[in-house]
Amino acid sequence: MNGKGPFDPRKEAPLLSAYVDGELETVDVDRIEAHLAENEQTRREVRELRRLKDITGVMRIKEPPPEEWEVFWKSVYNRAERSLGWILLCVGLVAIGAWGITEILSAMLETEALPLYVKGGIFVLAAGALVLMISAIRERVYKRKQTRYKDVIR
């Protein structure tokens, strides 16, 4: 990492993995080997890292059968289609709703028949509904990101 001074296993622990993998520069290798000559605990940790590397090096990922891939890709397509459908539906509803609300508000504000406090009440009601809608959407998005169980398959 820095190549200066003696090796400190508490601050430079990631270097031990890089040492076992043979990915260090000569300066860091020399520092670690000097430390290994003096410290049994670090030698033990390097032995464990080498053993872990040997074990994981022979492991192979089992390929799922073709039927599983077919089910996987069907679910991906279904989720993508439904997500796109919901997005388009929501965008359309927001566009039409915004147009409708502006038309209603402009019609009510232009009329002389409604008292000013009624016009204000309608405006406050619309603003409150908008704030609640935004709050509900924000909370839903936040919870979706924070849930620990979103990837659990039943």
* Spatial contact of 20 and 52, defined as CB atoms under 8 Å apart: no
Whether residue 152 is predicted with pLDDT greater than 70 in this model: the reply is: no
Whether residue 131 is predicted with pLDDT greater than 90 in this model: the reply is: yes
Residue 135's pLDDT is what? 93
Task: List the structure tokens of 44.
Answer: 């033990």
Residue 50's pLDDT is what? 92
Q: Would you list the domain boundaries of the chain?
A: 14-58
Residue 16's pLDDT is what? 87
Q: Find all residues with CB under 8 Å of 35, minimum gap 6, and list them.
A: 6, 7, 9, 42
Q: Find all residues with CB under 8 Å of 114, minimum gap 6, and list them.
A: 108
| pLDDT tens readout for residues 53-106 | 888 888 888 888 888 888 888 888 888 888 899 899 989 998 998 898 888 878
How far is Cα of residue 112 from the mean position of the Cα atoms in its chain? 53
**How does the average pLDDT of the chain come out, rounded?**
84
The dihedrals phi and psi of 43, each to the nearest 5 degrees, come to -60, -40
Residue 89's pLDDT is what? 93
91-95, 121-125, 140-144 — most confident range = 91-95
Residue 93's pLDDT is what? 92
Indicate the pLDDT class of residue 47, thresholds 50, 70 and 90. Answer: very high
Residue keyed to tokens 């290798």: 29
Conformational region of residue 126, where left means phi above 0, alpha means psi within -120 to 50, and beta covers everything else: alpha
Residue keyed to tokens 């028949």: 113
Q: Classify residue 7 by its DSSP letter.
A: -
**Residue of 33 and 145 predicted with greater confidence:** 33
Percentage of the residues of the chain whose pLDDT score is greater than 90? 16
What pTM did the predictor assign?
A: 0.41
Q: How far apart are CA 71 and CA 93, in angstroms?
A: 33
